[in-house]
Amino acid sequence: MSSSSASDVRVREATLADSDVLAELIALFNGPSVRPERTLERMTACAGLERALLAEVDGLVVGFACVGVVPALADDHPHASLTELYVRPDWRRRGVGRQLVKSAEAYAETAAAEHLVLLTGLGNDEAQAFYRALGYDGWAVAMRKRVSP
């Protein structure tokens, strides 16, 4: 494990050329079902709506975040959401997640959003502690219902 610290972390927007590493990280986070070609298709479909941010240390991608911004019919401000956040296990507790969220917040602010909203698992105590440490707080109840078989 490297001794690199948060100050060595660089966050940049992913491009289509990053689809392989993004697919790898999404699979590590969400399960092994994401093909790189499918990730490339999704990146193209999401252009202008949702972007991936990559955290790099010495050229190694150590984590990613996805942030979406969409215009709102009933609000002058667009709605911004942090839709994914993942840091490779070996790189946790070194400020990488914080840097990714900071970059997502900067993007949301640039896009004139008022808030950055996120969902995290009810049982994901570590992520909840992380978000609270960064100033996030409970604000709504998330509900869902399956609408397709």
Distances in Å between the alpha carbon of 20 and those of 34, 40, 102, 105?
A: 10, 8, 24, 25
Count of residues near ligand COA by CB under 6 A: 18
Tell whether residue 86 is a contact of ligand COA (CB under 6 A): yes
**Contact call for residue 124 and ligand COA (CB under 6 A):** yes
**Choice between 42 and 98, CB closer to ligand COA:** 98
Closest separation in Å from C-beta 64 to ligand COA: 9
Give Cα separations from 98 to 14, 17, 70 (angstroms): 18, 25, 23
Q: Which stretch binds ligand COA (CB under 6 A): 11-19, 45-53, 68-76, 79-87?
A: 79-87
Q: Which of 9, 43, 53, 94 binds ligand COA (CB under 6 A)?
A: 94
Report the SS3 class of residue 92: coil
Window of 35-43, 70-78, 126-134, 141-149 that interacts with ligand COA by CB under 6 A: 126-134
Closest approach, Cβ 8 to ligand COA, in A, equals: 13
* The two three-digit tokens of residue 121, written as one number: 């698992």
| CB-CB contact of 13 with 53 (8 Å) | yes
The percent helix, strand, coil of the chain (3-state, each to 5) is 35, 30, 35
Q: Cα-flanking dihedrals φ and ψ of residue 113, to 5°?
A: -75, 150
Q: Which residues bind ligand COA (CB under 6 A)?
A: 29, 85-87, 92-98, 120, 124, 126-127, 129-130, 133
